Amino acid sequence: MATDTVTTQLQNGLSCELPANSPLAKLLKSQRTWVGPDARERLRILQNAKSVAIVGMSDKSARSSYFVGTYLLQSSNYRVYFVNPMITEVLGQKVYPDLASLPEVPDIVDVFRKGSDIPQIVDEVLAVGSPCIWVQLGIWNEQAAIDAEAKGLTVVMDRCLKVEHARFNGGLHLLGFDTGVITSRKTVR
């Protein structure tokens, strides 16, 4: 009895044949194939940026966007803009209804929206001329990333901008918080 097989490319560069209907073949087929910028490139993006817009900013202190917004205002030199059509102010800052309403084109658009919203946000980012879309940790839309890159955007996805900024600047603890420990390690600012 002949079984259909599929050739699967593994991350280590090797390939193998698997029965097409096996659970492992289905799992490997569902794995992510898009790869975003490496650590050096993410560092370059963060170092070159002067402004960040947070799309999906919340006024609820338990939300990730609120935590990231607070961190960026307190621990970075970025001009930080908040975008959410449902609120007008948070953390003492004006909240804009959309990217087109911002007073400048942000260098990074940090997105806190569900994965299915990413294609629409890519279109908005392109319309305002921002060079980079940064999709927050836990949010994934591979096709949107591929399409955005094809249109000239730099895409970072499924990574927390706060964690990456803190990591590159020496302020990251295992839990993602600055421990206040003084170190001889040179920080990058």
Domains and CATH numbers, the chain: 1-31 (no CATH), 39-168 (3.40.50.720)
* 84-112 tens-digit pLDDT: 999 999 999 999 999 999 999 999 999 99
Cβ atoms 157, 140 nearer than 8 A: yes
Q: How far is residue 134's CA from residue 161's CA, in Å, rounded to a whole number?
A: 7
* 131-186 tens-digit pLDDT: 999 999 989 899 999 999 999 999 999 999 999 999 888 766 555 455 555 555 55
Cα 94 to the chain's mean position, in Å? 23
What six digits make up the tokens of 158? 């499924």
Q: What residues contact residue 73 under an 8 Å CB cut-off, 6+ apart?
A: 80, 91, 93
Task: Check whether 17 has a pLDDT greater than 90.
Answer: no
Task: Give the global pTM.
Answer: 0.77
Backbone angles phi, psi at 45, to 5 degrees: -60, -45
Q: How far is residue 78's CA from residue 173's CA, in Å, rounded to a whole number?
A: 22
Residue 169's identity, in one-letter code, is N
Write down the pLDDT at residue 5: 78
Residue 81's identity, in one-letter code, is Y
The CB density around residue 111, as the number of other CB atoms within 10 Å, is 28
Write down the pLDDT at residue 23: 77
Residue 94's identity, in one-letter code, is K
Closest CA to 111 of 42, 60, 58, 151: 58
